[in-house]
Structure 1
Amino acid sequence: MATQEKEEAPHAVGRRVVLFPLPFQGHLSPMLQLAELLRARGLPVTVLHTDFNAPDPTRHPELAFVPIHEALPTSATSPDADIVAQLLALNSGCEAPFREALASLLRREDVACAVVDGQWYAALGAASALGVPVLALRTDSAATFGSLLAFPRLRDAGYVPIKEERRDELVPELEPLRVRDLIRIDGSDVDALCGFISRVADAARASASGVVLNSFDAIEAPELARIEKELSCPAFAVGPLHRMCPGPAPAEHGLHAPDRGCLAWLDAHPARSVLYVSLGSVARVDRGVFEEMAWGLAGSGVPFLWVVRPGSVRGGGADEPPNGLDEEARSRGKVVAWAPQLEVLAHEAVGAFWTHCGWNSTLESVCAGVPMLAQPCFADQTVNARYVTHRWGVGLEVGDVIDRVRVAERVRMVMLGEEGDRAREKVRDLKLQADQCVAASLAVDNLVRYVLSL
């Protein structure tokens, strides 16, 4: 964690840092933001990457990009793949080509360390086996990573797999989390998920010389301290990374092209009048849930900007609101395939964010001072949603059951009600603390010193 004493920022040339992101948008963006921060402090950076969902090197001309040229089965690349099977297949298929690419780089460069996405448990072990100090980048929250490290104990205590009769119990060492808030992926094999989590936690313990987190002390100090105690290695909370990046506006690192026309649409609306709706780059919802969301938005009377990503709705049919919506309801809303989220959240017309509570989206909403309506879908999102609603108080829950009446009620509550006003006040306080963290940049400087000491 960042120390409170400001020292001269480190600046070194020569020793290279190698980064290896997981090939999904929520993981690529923070890794590339970290790459830019390290480069700005004088560290040459090489990004090893998969051919699958490869980043665009032209967006980062001062970074070196090297593909590992992996060969992956369909289970690793299909958009319909089970996420746990996908992560296991990616680790299996990329371990050897990553090791070969890193070994080749070692023959030519003085490599200070590798920074590997924490989900790459196989690559963490491979880098360590080559004698390269390796740091694990966690693109989730410190609370999520802490619950992941605790998973073996939770399983021994009978909390995992989740039993219906224990869903609402608080987990003693992880409050305010309930059993239902623990990491889960509905529809995935429970044993496979637990096995994946165990491999990730074991790799962090066995191979990592430190952990880098896209978080900051003011929001997760107790959770960061627990991680350092659990792993007996430093945890660097270098976030919020999208704010730390140099330059006036962080670049879009996404795999989807945003529809920038929605910004002009927002310009035509009064301050804090529009609800922004996006469930992220991976989550999918059933057709029935999607239609209840649409009818609920229509019934709320609130203007909305809704991101409906191609393929985000299961069950077939076009990814657009139902034809039954009347013209008046349709005229209040705008639907786009993707949006420039940072700019949308910063727009004065946006009054709240209906989100899946992915960690990047959660941080972006906090840093924009925008309260949230939480609808977690899977994995770490349940942890984040619980913190949003019950630790920080910066948002409201949509609820377990998505029906149009409840949706309309919750939308009006977050946009127009006293509950929304209280959440808005609290998120503004967190925004100020994030601003102070960005101005100090202590954690990033401490990370660079540590890298140069390895």
Structure 2
Amino acid sequence: MTSSMDSLPHVFLVSFPGQGHINPMLRLGKKLAVSGLLVTFSTTANLGRDMKKAGSISDTPTPLGRGFLRFEFFDDGRTNEDSVPSLSMSFDQYMPQLRRLGSISLLQILKNQIKENRPAVSCVIGNPFVPWVCDVADQLGIASAVLWVQSCAVFSIYSHHFNGSIPFPSETQPNVDVQLPSLPLLKHDEIPSFLLPNNPLHDIGKAILEQFSNLSKPFCILIDTFEELESEIVDFMSKKFPIKAVGPLFMHCSEIKTRISGDCLRADECMEWLDSKPKGSVVYVSFGSVVYLKQEQVDEIAYGLINSGFSFLWVLKPPASLGVKRHVLPNEITEEAGERGKVVQWSPQEQVLSHPSVACFMTHCGWNSSVEAISSGVPVVAFPQWGDQPTNAKFLVDALGIGIRLSRGAGEDRLIKRDEIEKCLKEAMEGPKAVEIRKNALERQIAAEKAVVDGGSSDKNIKQFIDEIRKRSLVCGGNLQVCPSAT
């Protein structure tokens, strides 16, 4: 270990083992490291192996700016053969196991930092799917914070549901609309689906809601959004919680020169193909790391893309990441697409969305993809499925005016046909509606850029957070057992 690393405040980041959680947490880690902190990033050992296999991370501490970034993984009891937690698994079995074994492993790792000649950890940062991380930090007297990896609007929805102050859909009244302060009226299918009665993934909702019973422990809740994007709701919720909007996190990292990434799959080469296409001519299609569509729906999307006449770049994940069958495109689609279409298993999405040839993004509306599209000035064709995706789609289309809705979510249980897909794509790519949403998207992009520059709203918030960590590090005095979590 270098002497410079010995003197740095040490922050320990703990992420739920999912691509959509790892990416924003690692982006935060890079920003903290560049700003002069020693950052340890941790998730489950299985995901750590995937990241190493993809060539995304290094085994040794990496110098970044004035700090360092290193990786150390905890045990969740899963074997090498186990796949990433996914919709095909039993979350009601996995989540308690993750809590039980993850807590034991993380506790020991944190205790061992000084024994392994690293500075005492002065702050532990978890995310909403692992609320027990704050308990582990509290047990050791270490300050904790939370990185909320969804929008502030969704944070507000979960908070109000937890408090029970406003009616939500129930088994007896499943179609109740939800009216929350500082938010537009939400239809029953526009709230996060994990909160709906009889949702098969209710254990994920329970884990997220559990975070709200723990919010007295973290001294700060960082949110990957920016004040100008959700000004009214950020202002409202900031009066109730110690919120800091610090996003878009990926834009903070745009000038950090490192090959380290959170990808669990190796990205395919597609930039040269994009270079060969005219400006504003390509539809980018990706449904994230977990959403898995029926083969029939994939077929309809394929025909819709072909019939639209536009060039397209389509991310179709391999089955190994989900434990399900590989999608197979109809032979005539592959033949007819020719050079007009390119299908990859994974893409460098940030680079793709910033490429001038990309004109619109058909997306599942996960928050990472949503905020990346917003910040890149790329209009969306909203194809949400579950979780916070229907809520994000509502805001992208109705509140921000930067997209066209193709689906209301998996709850509507219908096959979206090729004609409808073709129509939405044409509306997003050409004509008066396309001009309107592109103009709105560019306005949001400018606002995002202003938020992260020196003196911008997110820049100031993250600097205040780093200053607080430095103060707590001085109080720790290098002794893990007496590092106070109180302000």
TM-score, with normalisation over the residues of structure 2?
A: 0.82
For residues 312-361 of structure 1, the C-alpha deviation after alignment (integer angstroms, 9 at most, x for no partner) is: 99997542322343733455211111111111111111110001111111
**In structure 1, what is the equivalent of residue 236 of structure 2?**
226
After superposition, residues 84-233 of structure 1 pair within 5 angstroms as: 85-105=93-113, 109-153=119-163, 157-160=167-170, 165-166=175-176, 169-173=177-181, 174-185=183-194, 188-189=199-200, 192-203=203-214, 205-231=215-241
Correspondent of 1:63 among 48, 60, 69: 69
Aligned counterpart in structure 2 of residue 51 of structure 1, from 45, 48, 60: 45
Letter in 1 for 2:46: F
**Cα distance, 1:452 vs. partner?**
2.4
- Pair 1:314–1:291, CA change in 2 (3 A): farther
Separation in 1 of the partners of 2:324 and 2:364?
21
Q: Secondary structure at 1:46's aligned position in 2?
A: strand
Q: 1:405 to 1:347 in 2, by over 3 A?
A: same
Deviation track 1:198-222 (CA, whole Å, cap 9, x = no partner) reads 312212x232111011111110122
Query: How much has 1:193 moved relative to structure 2?
Result: 4.6
Does the 8 Å CA contact 2:15/2:25 hold for their aligned counterparts?
Answer: yes
Q: Is the 8 A contact 1:13 1:43 kept in 2?
A: no
Amino acid at match of 1:66: E
Given residue 347 of structure 1, which amino acid in structure 2 is its aligned partner?
H
The one-letter amino acid paired with 1:453 is K
Deviation at 1:422, TM superposition (A): 0.8
Distance 1:313 1:65 in 2: 22
Tell me the equivalent position of 1:353: 361
2:9 pairs with one of 6, 11, 15: 15
Secondary structure at the counterpart of residue 207 of structure 1? coil
Amino acid at match of 1:303: S
For the Cα contact (< 8 Å) 1:281–1:309, is it kept in 2? yes
Say which SS state the counterpart of residue 276 (structure 1) adopts: strand
For residues 161 and 421 of structure 1, do their structure 2 counterparts lie closer, same or farther at Cα, with a shift above 3 Å needed?
farther
What SS is found at the alignment partner of 1:137? strand
- Which residue of 2 is the match for residue 340 of structure 1? 348
- Counterpart contact for 1:259–1:336, Cα < 8 Å: yes
CA distance in 1 between counterparts of 2:340 and 2:257 reads: 29
Q: More displaced, 317-326 or 262-271?
A: 317-326
Structure 1 residues 248-287: aligned runs within 5 Å: 251=259, 252-260=261-269, 262-287=270-295
CA distance in 1, matches of 2:240, 2:320: 37
Could you say which residue in structure 2 is the equivalent of 1:430?
A: 444
SS in 2 for 1:63: strand
Q: Which amino acid aligns with 2:76?
A: E
- What one-letter code is carried by the residue in structure 1 that aligns with 2:192? I
Equivalent-residue separation in structure 1 for 2:387 and 2:338 (angstroms):
33
* 1:362-381 matches, cutoff 5 A: 362-381=370-389
Q: Using a 3 Å threshold, how does the CA distance of structure 1 residues 415 and 313 change in structure 2: closer, same or farther?
A: farther
Match of 1:291 in 2: 299
Whole-angstrom CA distance in 1 between matches of 2:444 and 2:438: 10
1:236 CA drift (Å): 1.6
Contact 1:142/1:223 (8 A) holds in 2: yes
Alpha-carbon shift at residue 453 of structure 1 (Å): 3.3
Instruction: Let me know the Cα RMSD of the aligned residues.
Output: 2.8
Q: Which residue of 2 aligns with 1:5?
A: none
1:363-442 matched pairs, under 5 angstroms:
363-400=371-408, 401=414, 402-440=416-454, 441-442=459-460
CA contact (8 A) 2:179 2:186 kept: yes
Take 1:94 and 1:313, find their aligned partners in 2: how far apart are those partners?
Answer: 21
Q: Which is further off, 352-361 or 151-160? A: 151-160
1:37 and 2:51 correspond: no
Partner amino acid for 2:184? E
- The CA deviation string for residues 229-274 of structure 1, in whole angstroms up to 9 with x for no partner, is 333xx212111111102636675421111111x2111222111011
The amino acid across from 1:180 in the alignment is D
Contact 1:37–1:246 (CA<8 Å) still a contact in 2?
no
Aligned to 1:8: none
Equivalent AA in structure 1 for residue 435 of structure 2: D
CA distance in 1, matches of 2:407, 2:254: 38
1:398–1:89 distance in 2 versus 1, CA, 3 Å: farther
- 8 A Cα contact 1:285 1:314, kept in partner: no
Which TM-score applies when normalising by structure 1?
0.88
Quickly say closer, same or farther: Cα 1:156–1:190, change in 2 above 3 A.
farther
Letter in 1 for 2:371: L
* Residue identity opposite 1:358 in structure 2: G
Structure 2: tracts of 5 or more residues without a match: 1-5, 63-67, 409-413, 473-487
Counterpart contact for 1:345–1:364, Cα < 8 Å: yes
Do the aligned residues in 2 keep the contact of 1:283 with 1:377 (CA within 8 Å)? yes
The alignment partner of 1:36 has SS state of: helix
Whether the aligned pair in 2 keeps the contact of 1:36 and 1:246 (CA below 8 Å) is: no
Q: In the alignment, is the contact (CA less than 8 A) between 2:9 and 2:469 conserved in 1?
A: no
Residue 76 (structure 1) shift: 8.3
Q: Is the 8 A contact 2:295 2:327 kept in 1?
A: no
- C-alpha contact (below 8 Å) 1:298/1:330 kept by paired residues: no
Distance 1:20 1:192, change over 3 A: closer
Q: Distance in 2 between matches of 1:313 and 1:133?
A: 34
Quote the residue 2:482 is aligned against.
none
CA distance in 1, matches of 2:41, 2:168: 41
Q: Is the 8 A contact 1:282 1:312 kept in 2?
A: no
